[in-house]
Amino acid sequence: MKIDKVLIVGGGIGGLTFGLTLRRVGIPFEIFERAPELKEVGAGVGLWANAVRVLDRLGVAGEIRALGQPLKWGEIANWKGRVLSRTDISENLEKRDAACYVVHRAELHAALARQLPGETIKTDHECTGFEADGGRVIVHFKNGATAEGTLVVGADGLNSMIRRQLWDDGRPRYSDQTCFRAVVETDYADTDVLREVQGAGRRFGLCPLGKGRLYWFAALNAAEGRMIPFADRPRFLTGRYAGWAYRIPELIAATAPEKIIQNDLVDRVPLEKWSAGRATLLGDAAHPTTPNFGQGACMAIEDALVLTRALVENDRLSAAFEAYEAARRPRTSAIVNDSWKFGRLARWENPLAVGLRETLVRLTPDSVTAKMLRRQIDYDAGPLPAAVRQ
């Protein structure tokens, strides 16, 4: 199939990785980002083995591994510091691999952007819609510009414009939990442990980033849309996590208030179809998930490779989109749905229910926890196809 240009709407982790995979196989593309400059929020992101495997095939995993911290242990504890489960998450993986690297989002984003020629990325281009005209697609932007190509890919996140135009499935679904997150410099000692500390209707994650930095998140039950002003965030959180183990109140207090980001945790019910005509979706635009398994960005990275391969290996666009969806929808829908269910358990507040949950976590054999994890991280998105001759 002859592809003049792929128009990618959105320059997040998904859009940039897709640009990179297209570059590797020689398909022309352009990325359009609405923000005036390319950047990511100041938090961490867990890159599991399934995503690192893709980055390896793109030749960038070495650089990305060096940004973060390989983690060996996955631990769940209660708020008093009692360890409920401790799993060797990297067991049986290839020798040089870790199950998970936690990296700084802004550094990951910048590392991906460095791989792309500057002229392939247009900032200040907010997409307002697209139209298909015969064998072409024309994308419109708020600044009055238009772009023309063979296909458009919406990598424009949770509130994707492209998804709205294709499927208009309304607002995201709220999980009844909001989440605060930040990176703090600290001498926190357990540098190879990914730890989630649980209490009644709230949890706290401790994810070492390396170089004396820790990425933390605090997810707790809250009414939708209740945003706490930046200046009040440390006080609000130290109140909610007073007395919690692992120096949690101290870590919150040591974080600059303006560095603490808040997002309500949401997802969307999986779609039956992502693509139509000359348009498809990738990453959060296609399958936004609650972040309980830390797989949202990892799945966007997988999508990038699978969609590129489908475009290379199929003669018609419709066949390429079918192959892409057939490979991706079952996996991504399962993760979205399982993560949603997992998040429901985290909301429990009743002391009896919380006690029961702790007992269940304690009694679940490590081998079972490891098996569940391996189902997600053993996934292989497949090879990067050979470069095309256009």
Ligand X SMILES: Cc1cc2nc3c(=O)[nH]c(=O)nc-3n(C[C@H](O)[C@H](O)[C@H](O)COP(=O)(O)OP(=O)(O)OC[C@H]3O[C@@H](n4cnc5c(N)ncnc54)[C@H](O)[C@@H]3O)c2cc1C
Candidate ranges 58-66, 155-163, 182-190, 195-203; the one touching ligand X (CB under 6 A): 155-163
Of positions 45, 153, 251, 370, contacts ligand X by CB under 6 A: 45
CB 357 within 8 A of CB 202: no
27 vs 2: CA distance, rounded Å: 9
- Residue 12 sits in the site that holds ligand X (CB under 6 A): yes
- Residue 49 sits in the site that holds ligand X (CB under 6 A): no
Candidate ranges 91-99, 268-276, 282-290, 339-347; the one touching ligand X (CB under 6 A): 282-290
Nearest to 24 by CA among 386, 389, 390: 386
289's tokens: 């998930």
193 vs 89: CA distance, rounded Å: 10
Of positions 3, 7, 8, 10, contacts ligand X by CB under 6 A: 10
- Residue 208 sits in the site that holds ligand X (CB under 6 A): no
**Which residue type does 277 have?**
G
Strand partners, 181: 217, 261
Of positions 70, 208, 296, 343, contacts ligand X by CB under 6 A: 296
Of 163 and 358, CB closest to ligand X: 163
From the CB of 275, what's the least distance to ligand X, in Å? 16
Q: Which of residues 177-206 bind ligand X (CB under 6 A)?
A: 179, 181
Q: DSSP assignment of 41-88, as one string? A: -SSEEEEEHHHHHHHHHTT-HHHHHHHSEEE-EEEEEETTS-EEEEEE
> Judging by beta carbons within 10 Å of its beta carbon (0-12, 13-18, 19+), is residue 257 exposed, middle or buried?
middle
CB 302 within 8 A of CB 379: yes
From the CB of 350, what's the least distance to ligand X, in Å? 25
Q: What are phi and psi of 288, to 5 degrees?
A: -65, 140
Of positions 6, 161, 279, 310, contacts ligand X by CB under 6 A: 161
- Residue 291 sits in the site that holds ligand X (CB under 6 A): yes
From the CB of 154, what's the least distance to ligand X, in Å? 8
Of positions 3, 6, 15, 358, contacts ligand X by CB under 6 A: 15
What's the full length of the chain, in residues? 390
Going residue by residue from 111 to 150, which x/- string records binding to ligand X, judged by CB under 6 A?
---------------xx-----------------------
Q: What are phi and psi of 144, to 5 degrees?
A: 95, -10
- Residue 67 sits in the site that holds ligand X (CB under 6 A): no
From the CB of 270, what's the least distance to ligand X, in Å? 14
Interface positions with ligand X (CB under 6 A):
9-15, 32-35, 45-46, 126-127, 155-158, 161, 179, 181, 217, 263, 283-285, 291, 294-298, 300
